[in-house]
Amino acid sequence: MKRTLDRRAFLARGAGVAGAAAAGLVAPAARAAESPPAVPPWMQVPGKPMSGYGSPSRFEEPVKRFVLQPYGPIAPGSGPSRTPLHALEGTITPNGLHFERHHNGVPEIDPAQHRLLIHGLVRTPVVFTLQALMRFPRTSRVCFIECAGNSNPNSLSAKPPQLPAGTIHGLLSCTEWSGVPLRLLLEEAGVDPRASWLLAEGADAAAMSHSIPLEKALDDAMVALYQNGERLRPEQGYPVRLLLPGWLGNSNVKWLRRIKLTDAPMQAKDETSKYTDPTPDGKARQFTFLMGVKSVITQPSVGISMQGPGWYEISGLAWSGAGKVSRVEVSADGGASWREAALQEPVFSKSVTRFRLPWQWKGERALLQSRATDEKGRVQPARAEWLKQYMPQQRYHNNSIQTWAVEADGSIANVFV
């Protein structure tokens, strides 16, 4: 049963609401003022006029994606940018902060010239223009996309990287997607009974492609046209992308131009040269599509300093590629004991869920962890449990528990437990 979070109960669990200020639990700015504040300058002059497209306040300019270009000037368009999860609230990622992963830059595609071809093991090959796609019935859903390489700073480094939560775990974003169910387009072409897979190919300079089981394509796959109500942005696949809820990001092919139905996976370069999982027995797992159950505390975390002992809210995100998150537990002692957190409604399937828990920090060292469980009964593994499944420096599918150490001086560090 989910717990609800009552604000009055949250406050009352400190030194008492009436004595909170005396106990130092209320920030100075929140205390009663002796006189009305002075009229600020921005109340004395007219504000800026309206604009055709809004933008964040200049005071929020530091809130941006962390961009990594691993190949430098040789291939500036190859690499990821990560969502600053620690600087955001709620569950929906703004379009301008959704993570990116590109293999050869972002193409500038003229939608009037773009075409989507469905061919291979079909009754009749079909070519769709954007105008034709817009005439099909549409659907909308909220879901996350997570790169298979998310959280790999914690598995590729021998020592815990002292980076913000978003820089470690920010190859994850969650938005509302709108588009055409893929099964409707496949029905237009007519699926050959021999077909069991399809190859989805993008229109970028790398022609990034991935094999997808036909079963997923006929289930909840979408040809996405909109993100958070507006047309896709170029870095998110404009004018059309594939959306496979709950599956690894690389399979959600952007700038979708071709779908070929086949009777076996195509073993494309993007599913053989990478995105495989080496195991201790010398073999490697391939086609690990489903993203595991996972959570991370975003507040407090690295980059945030505790402002003295007292009551704080522990908050973070949880998700699972298998369905809904059913439970999140939080530990302040490195997993020795756990308390159940409140899940913020609504809780969607294959989406991100915000969890919250009031916590009294007594000024002593604490080890903060979160552990998610999904509706299928899958439980987020401890770091040691996750590591033993793979060869050293496994870079994909790290859904192990994250630990933040809160030190006695209020600083916070990433630690391995």
What are the pLDDT tens digits along the chain (417 aa)? 444 444 444 444 443 333 444 344 445 445 666 788 899 999 999 999 999 999 999 999 999 999 999 999 999 999 999 999 999 999 999 999 999 999 999 999 999 999 999 999 999 999 999 999 999 999 999 999 999 999 999 999 999 999 999 999 999 999 999 999 999 999 999 999 999 999 999 999 999 999 999 999 999 999 999 999 999 999 999 999 999 999 999 999 999 999 999 999 999 998 998 899 999 999 999 999 999 999 999 999 999 999 999 999 999 999 999 999 999 999 999 999 999 999 999 999 999 999 999 999 999 999 999 999 999 999 999 999 999 999 999 999 999 999 999 999 999 999 999
Tokens of 227: 């993100």
Residue 243: CB atoms within 10 A of its CB come to 24
Tokens of 144: 């996350």
If asked whether residues 268 and 301 sit together in one domain, one would say no
Strand partners, 412: 406
**Cα–Cα distance, 214 to 51 (Å, whole number):** 45
If asked whether residues 227 and 357 sit together in one domain, one would say no
CATH number at residue 358: 2.60.40.650
pLDDT of residue 300: 98
pLDDT of residue 28: 44
If asked whether residues 300 and 277 sit together in one domain, one would say no
Spatial contact of 256 and 200, defined as CB atoms under 8 Å apart: yes
CATH number at residue 177: 3.90.420.10
What residues make up the domain containing 166?
115-282
If asked whether residues 265 and 171 sit together in one domain, one would say yes
Compute the CA torsion angle 219, 220, 226, 229 (nearest 10 deg): 140
The 3 state secondary structure assigned to 263-291 is CCCCCCHHHHCCCCEECCCCCEECCCCEC
Residue 40: CB atoms within 10 A of its CB come to 7
**Cα–Cα distance, 291 to 245 (Å, whole number):** 10
Residue 81 resides in a domain: no
CA-based angle 287:288:293, to the nearest 5? 165
**Cα–Cα distance, 354 to 346 (Å, whole number):** 9
**Distances in Å between the alpha carbon of 172 and those of 151, 264, 305, 339?**
9, 29, 24, 25
**Cα–Cα distance, 354 to 318 (Å, whole number):** 6
Strand runs (DSSP E) across 182-279, as ranges?
Answer: 197-202, 209-213, 222-227, 230-231, 241-243, 256-262, 277-278
Residue 78 resides in a domain: no
Residue 315 resides in a domain: yes
Pairing of strands 241-243, 79-82: unpaired
Q: Is 137 exposed, middle or buried (0-12, 13-18, 19+ CB in 10 A)?
A: exposed
If asked whether residues 120 and 259 sit together in one domain, one would say yes
pLDDT of residue 33: 63
If asked whether residues 360 and 409 sit together in one domain, one would say yes
Residue 124 resides in a domain: yes
Q: Helix or strand or coil: residue 46?
A: coil
**Cα–Cα distance, 117 to 255 (Å, whole number):** 12
If asked whether residues 309 and 357 sit together in one domain, one would say yes
Q: Which residues contact 201 (CB under 8 A, 6 or more apart)?
A: 207, 208, 209, 253, 256, 257, 258, 259, 260
Say how many domains are in the chain: 2
Residue 371 resides in a domain: yes
If asked whether residues 208 and 257 sit together in one domain, one would say yes
Total number of residues shown for the chain? 417
Residue after which a domain boundary falls, among 222, 254, 282: 282
Residue after which a domain boundary falls, among 249, 282, 315: 282
Residue 45: CB atoms within 10 A of its CB come to 6
| Residue entry with tokens 């027995």 | 281
If asked whether residues 275 and 355 sit together in one domain, one would say no
Spatial contact of 319 and 174, defined as CB atoms under 8 Å apart: yes
**Cα–Cα distance, 290 to 322 (Å, whole number):** 7
